[in-house]
Amino acid sequence: MKMNSAVLAFLAVLLAAVTLQAQVAERPMPRIAKKDGRYALMVDNAPYLMLGAQVHNSSSWPSVQTKVWPAMEYLHVNTVEMPVYWEQLEPRQGEFDYALVDNLLKEARAHQVRLVLLWFGTWKNGSQHYMPEWAKLDPARFPHMIGRDGQAVDSPSPHSAAALEADKAAFTALMRHLKEADPQRTVLMVQVENEAGAWGSVRDFSPVAQKLFDAPVPKELLAAMKVKTETPTPNWLAAFGPDADEYFHAWSVAKYIGQVAAAGKAAYPLPMYANAALRNPLHPGAAGEPGTQGSYESGGPTDNVLGIWKVAAPALDVLAPDDYENDDASYLKVMELYHRDDNPLFVPETGGAGKERFFFTALGLQTIGFSPFGLDYTHRAASRSLNQGEPNRPQEEFLAPWAMNYRLIGPMMREVARLNFEGRLQAVAEEQGRVVRTLPFGAWEAIVSFGAARNNRGAGNPVPQGRALVAQLEDGSFLVTGYFCRVDFRPAGTEQQRKTQNIVIGTQQNPSAMIEGKWLHRQFLRVEEGGYENGAFKAQRIWNGDETDWGLDFGEEPVVLRVSLGTY
């Protein structure tokens, strides 16, 4: 058949349009960036803060459960963490079913949120419960660990080459599919396995594992851990003494997961992370010794083996704490320990009444995301595992303290992420006994007080729930927001003056300081309440008089201020 030139020209235009459409639809790859020691998750080429929530383990199969979306909307999340299950993805070896993943993509897009997918593969909470049936029925290729007593443990051995290859193949298939199905980059990150490690034994004592344990420790690990022994090729016991069992298991699990991650990344290089069931950072017990005080899961990225994981699994961008610590001091210590020069802070799971305010502490540690767990059920269901002993409350009341965070930060998420990446932002939450906090910003100090009385002397809120965020926009101009707190500012002099002068802090008037013999008092030049629209701050109300005379007070309503300061 002959085509005339008009038809050919039309087809060429059509082809160009289709190609252009495909190009337009393909968004930049999400990635983790580092600058001046600070990290950001870059989404669509700009810093992004994951205001997240994780659904319950069984909430996305066979389809997203009905309570998920209303809860997510109420919470104002921008990112939802959802599991993808090996047993669903590969019901028969080599045959893949992408229906669940495709449904998650479709639903997330319809609800205008991004996703973090959780690969429930070889490990889920230390066990292999999400392995497909064909793997569960083949213990020769998919062996359980063997405990010290010779009994099988409810945890997969990391020493099976066949299991590793099978997991790599399945995970790679998932990533390859995402590459094709998600040019919009609905999925921002992937968690490789879930809380890997073993609860029931410190390591695998099978003959295969024992042989490796008695063999020399890999050189790169010795170098990274700066191990000095008489022999240059020590085995695990010689190199690490009483920590040998635990370090060996951490290395073995990390090495396995690092290879799964690398294989997936080769197909589609999304940022990847592993999450940790923590050990108590202040009073740790022993790894994998069930029934003993403080015993914790052995082999996962707990704070004491982060260095091992970094060497063993370089394909992982982040090692992330599931922060469920009960007491505030432990909870906060965890975030400090995972905020490292070689590791951005990301809190992929958290929970517990009263812990909501620590989202602000995480912001102060430049977190790239924060994600309470299991908020898609009623409190009654959630209380089974997470909030024992608390009275049942209606779902909205249970969600409200979490929702407050995202309702406030959501509309200016991009600005907050950018200011944090640029090192201009500080944020704090109320802690027992720390009711006044001073945040240094060069020539100014922000004074945050909780349960404020006159002169910024905090008394603490009746229930500690205060949260504050201050970011420097220009020299004397700040973005200020928070809940249940008062924020004020005091002149701090230049860096040179702070070093050489004895700066006297005034107490009697507006916040003031005597610098080089001269009193400088804070003066509000302009205080605007408003918010960001398309990247620009829009003022809706000007504060003065009663609203500014005692400092800037934040209650339970979401209020954002832009403040310009001078001195007299």
Q: Which residues bind ligand DGJ (CB under 6 A)?
A: 57, 125, 194-195, 322, 349, 373, 385
Give min distance, CB of 395 to ligand DGJ, in A. 17
**195 vs 245, beta carbon nearer ligand DGJ:** 195
- Which strand (E) or helix (H) includes residue 73? helix 68-75
Instruction: Give min distance, CB of 79 to ligand DGJ, in A.
Output: 17
Q: Which is nearer to ligand DGJ, 277 or 408 (CB)?
A: 277
**Alpha-carbon distance 154 to 399, whole Å?**
34
Per the CB < 8 A criterion, the answer to whether 282 and 275 are in contact is no
Q: CB nearer to ligand DGJ: give 57 or 395.
A: 57
| CB of 317 closer than 8 Å to CB of 31 | no
CB 540, min distance to ligand DGJ, A: 41
User: Closest distance between ligand DGJ and the C-beta of residue 82, in Å?
Assistant: 11
Which lies closer to ligand DGJ via its Cβ, residue 48 or residue 373?
373
Nearer to ligand DGJ, 167 or 193 (CB): 193
Q: Which residue from 92, 157, 162, 83 is spatially nearest to 115, judged by alpha carbons? A: 83
The closest alpha carbon to 296, from 342, 252, 250, 257, belongs to 250
Phi and psi dihedrals of 40, rounded to 5?
Answer: -145, 150
In DSSP terms, which residues pair with 565 in a beta bridge?
524
Per-residue CA distances from 235 to 201, 223, 264, 298, 310 (Å): 20, 14, 31, 19, 20
Quick one: 375 or 417, whose CB is closer to ligand DGJ? 375
Least CB distance from residue 112 to ligand DGJ, whole Å?
A: 25
- Tokens at 529, concatenated: 């309440």
At closest approach, how far in Å is the CB of 125 from ligand DGJ? 5
Q: Which is nearer to ligand DGJ, 173 or 274 (CB)?
A: 274
**Which residues, at least 6 apart from 151, have a Cβ–Cβ distance to it below 8 Å?**
none
Decide whether 43 or 189 has the Cβ nearer to ligand DGJ. Answer: 189
Nearer to ligand DGJ, 219 or 380 (CB): 380
User: DSSP per residue over 408-459, as a string?
Assistant: HHGGGHHHHHHHHHTT-EEEEE-BTTB-EEEEEETTEEEEEESSB-GGG-B-
Spell out the residues 6+ positions from residue 194 whose beta carbon is closer than 8 angstroms to its own: 83, 118, 119, 120, 123, 124, 125, 275
User: Which residue, 195 or 415, has its beta carbon nearer to ligand DGJ?
Assistant: 195
Residue type, 189: M
Residues 238, 231 contacting (CB under 8 angstroms): yes
Q: How far is the CB of 318 from ligand DGJ (least distance, A)?
A: 15
Q: At closest approach, how far in Å is the CB of 227 from ligand DGJ?
A: 32
Distances in Å between the alpha carbon of 153 and those of 32, 422, 427? 37, 47, 44
Shortest CA distance to 195 belongs to which of 355, 388, 329, 349? 349
Closest approach of ligand DGJ to the CB of residue 195, in Å? 4
Report how far residue 487's alpha carbon sits from residue 528's, in angstroms, rounded to the nearest whole number: 14
CB of 83 to ligand DGJ, least distance (A): 8
Q: Between 321 and 464, whose beta carbon lies closer to ligand DGJ?
A: 321
Q: Please count the other Cβ atoms lying within 10 Å of the Cβ belonging to residue 301.
A: 32
Minimum Å gap between C-beta 388 and ligand DGJ is 12
